[in-house]
Amino acid sequence: MPPTPTAAVLYKKKDGSLTISPDHKYLFWTGQGTSSPALTIPVGDITNLQQTPATSAKVALKVFVKEESHVFSFTSKDRAKKEQEEVTDTLRNTIAAAKAPTAAAQLQPATTPSGDGGQQNGGDAGQSAAMAIAKAISSKQADEGWYDDSKLKSDFQLQRSLLEANKPLQARFNEALKDRPESVSISQFTTQFWSARLHLLRAHAIEKAQKQGEYNVLPEIRFTRRQAEKEGDPDIKQLHITKEQIKLIFRQYPVVKEAYDENVPPLDPGGFWQRFFSSRLLKKLKGEKITQQDPLDSVMDKYLERREAGPASIGYIPHFIDLEGNEQNHSQRKGNRPDQDMRPSSFDKVPLLRVLNNLSEKMLSHVAPEDGEAHAPIGMDEEAFEQLRLRDLAMDDQDNRVKLSIREPGQLGHGDAHDDLSAEAKLYMQQDPDQVISGLREGLQPSQLGADKSGTVRLDRAVNYHSDSDSGSEDERTPKHKSTNGKKSRRRVAVNSHSAIASATSSILSSVATRRATSSSDPSSLNGFSQQTFDQLTITHNTTTEFLHYFWTLFLSGNPAHVTELSQLVSTLDRSLDRITAVAETAEKERQKKIEGIEKQYREYERRTGKRRRVDHDEVPGGKRVVNEMAAPTIKALQMAAERYRRELEVQSKEAGGA
């Protein structure tokens, strides 16, 4: 446990002492002569620390707690500086430990304006202004910074690294940045750009925060066999170990470190590793069976019988997962013995399982725990107890659900369903329900359905389809059909007449053809453009979409501060149209060239064979038409945006003029 520093300080012009509680959770200031602390600051609440520069004569520490700040001047004559450092270091370490290890220590020297602290300090405002930030400490919530939108948006380093990792995004970003309207500053643009891509940033941030853990080194190191130079010689075995691997071996297998420490001065390191990798010790560490054939080694074999100590850094193990403790406290020898590999000791039984278990235990212990404070007091504190409680069995678990009360959707209706009715519904209103019903009833009588005299419904007649009849002759075959409304209506197209069937067939076939075209079209095809033109079109489309997005965000925000920006943006949108046209022109030129090429070929062909061939212009793909087809939705969106803007501009200019 680290010592708890105490220092003599001046706070609000009063003498006293500054102490940090033994568990490093609180900072106390106790006035002289009193025993209970007059000021208590929870260390977790401290947002920032500032100290005087090392060169300054006065020694002071400024502690920021949310909006407040407290200034402590260290008064001890000879130890002031040292005491101040002690307190600051302790506080800093505690706070840093409380924060996630990912929060990189950022030492940013910055001057702060002299605040109220200056006056409290007896007028030496200049000095307090000279205080340097001891450490940038953000509040505890900042641990979840990866999920905080505004933080993601302002983290330029993260954005840059994402752009570097994601090339298409970078291209899009650069293109849009280049073409952005003058009035939009880079920072405005980037904010806008990233606000639509927060999820990418977040994913990237999380990805970057991941660290690779330890791995089992020994199996990774293998001899590489090289063909012997001369015939008859044994093959040369080579071993490559990196510095990192050696470090890991030492960490994971303390026995090896011990052996190394004790033996390397007589041996040279190369020799040591050579012996190690052919020793029985290695086999034991890997969990392999040691056989008689394995060579004996006077140095290494000494360490064979060394008991493996458990991982050093697991200081405290809760009793109920402590196997050894279980063995001692509750002997299970009378009942069922625990599973083979769950028992302590007896290495020789299942060496491999044991080695693997041991190893993973060790590797885990080397990883800083994510869910607990590394410097937390050893033993079970309140929080750990809460976590370990069998909550399922607890009677009164706190209900932390959010209650969602749903109202009957029917009650939401604001009435008047009638104004949103379709045109058909309005037609229905004009019909007489009585007539409608009676007409339908009559229509469903068997005679209307094509029943013959005996009463059998002759579907063939009702359906009125005769494969051998032509369209003209069907009327006489139709059973006398009165129109259900009693009106004698002359149908232009008889149901299931040949023409109707034929047109139905062709319409189905054409829709099948369309489907087929869309489903089988090659996504990598360039629609007859060259790769360059196609890319240009893609980029133009991308940037246009970016600007449209920006436009609508600004337009719909209704913020008058963006008026000029908006008008510039509209002209940018207009320019986007020009850009699309430019691409179309390029494509058209390309196509013309292609046509010329074909014509030339044909002329050549004509000259050789005397036969003429016509160039079918429709056969040559690409060109302006295809560009316009592909960009049609974009163009429409641009026009829509411009139109909405102009309309609004007109109305508001009029209003402004009239007012």
Quick one: which of 211, 531, 556, 608 contacts other proteins (CB under 8 A)? 556
Residue (of 105, 109, 125) closest to 117 by Cα position: 125
**In terms of CB distance, is 174 or 510 closer to other proteins?**
510
For residue 554, state whether it binds other proteins (rule: CB under 8 A).
Answer: yes
Choose the binding region for other proteins from 5-13, 118-126, 581-589, 650-658 (rule: CB under 8 A): 650-658
For residue 559, state whether it binds other proteins (rule: CB under 8 A).
Answer: yes
Choose the binding region for other proteins from 36-44, 74-82, 262-270, 502-510 (rule: CB under 8 A): 502-510
For residue 500, state whether it binds other proteins (rule: CB under 8 A).
Answer: yes
Quick one: which of 6, 448, 527, 538 contacts other proteins (CB under 8 A)? 448
Choose the binding region for other proteins from 122-130, 341-349, 537-545, 645-653 (rule: CB under 8 A): 645-653
Which amino acid would we find at residue 387? Q
105 token code pair:
């220590």
CA atoms within 13 A on the CB side of 538: 14
Min CB(181)–other proteins separation in Å: 13
Residues 271 to 290: which contact other proteins by CB under 8 A?
none
Round to whole Å and give the CA distance between 579 and 81.
67
Residues 75 to 94: which contact other proteins by CB under 8 A?
none
Q: How many residues bind other proteins (CB under 8 A)?
A: 106
CB 338 within 8 A of CB 332: yes
Left (φ > 0), alpha (ψ -120 to 50) or beta: where does 527 sit? left
Round to whole Å and give the CA distance between 333 and 327.
9
For residue 636, state whether it binds other proteins (rule: CB under 8 A).
Answer: no
CA atoms within 13 A on the CB side of 230: 2
Residues 138 to 177: which contact other proteins by CB under 8 A?
149, 153
Choose the binding region for other proteins from 220-228, 231-239, 372-380, 442-450 (rule: CB under 8 A): 442-450
Quick one: which of 349, 441, 477, 636 contacts other proteins (CB under 8 A)? 441
For residue 346, state whether it binds other proteins (rule: CB under 8 A).
Answer: no
Residues 560 to 589: which contact other proteins by CB under 8 A?
560-564, 566-567
Helices (H), 155-215: 156-165, 167-179, 186-195, 198-209
For residue 451, state whether it binds other proteins (rule: CB under 8 A).
Answer: yes
Helices (H), 413-527: 423-430, 433-443, 459-463, 474-477, 498-520
CB 551 within 8 A of CB 575: no
Residues 188 to 247: which contact other proteins by CB under 8 A?
188, 191-192, 195-196, 198
For residue 557, state whether it binds other proteins (rule: CB under 8 A).
Answer: yes
Choose the binding region for other proteins from 89-97, 229-237, 499-507, 530-538 (rule: CB under 8 A): 499-507
**In terms of CB distance, is 105 or 427 closer to other proteins?**
427
258 alpha-carbon distance from chain centroid: 45
**In terms of CB distance, is 537 or 566 closer to other proteins?**
566
Round to whole Å and give the CA distance between 96 and 513.
67
Choose the binding region for other proteins from 72-80, 266-274, 391-399, 414-422 (rule: CB under 8 A): 414-422
- Output the DSSP codes for 400-420: -PPP-PPPPHHHH--S--GGG
- Binding mask 506-525 toward other proteins (x if CB under 8 A, else -) reads -xxx-xx-xxx-xx------
Could you give phi then psi for residue 278, rounded to 5 degrees? -115, 15
Helix (H) or strand (E) holding 509: helix 498-520
For residue 342, state whether it binds other proteins (rule: CB under 8 A).
Answer: no
**In terms of CB distance, is 361 or 648 closer to other proteins?**
648
For residue 454, state whether it binds other proteins (rule: CB under 8 A).
Answer: yes
Residue (of 548, 556, 568, 558) closest to 641 by Cα position: 548
Round to whole Å and give the CA distance between 510 and 504.
10
Residue (of 239, 225, 301, 304) closest to 269 by Cα position: 239
For residue 649, state whether it binds other proteins (rule: CB under 8 A).
Answer: yes
Min CB(546)–other proteins separation in Å: 11
Residue (of 577, 588, 573) closest to 627 by Cα position: 588
Quick one: which of 492, 607, 608, 612 contacts other proteins (CB under 8 A)? 492
For residue 186, state whether it binds other proteins (rule: CB under 8 A).
Answer: no
Round to whole Å and give the CA distance between 345 and 338.
13
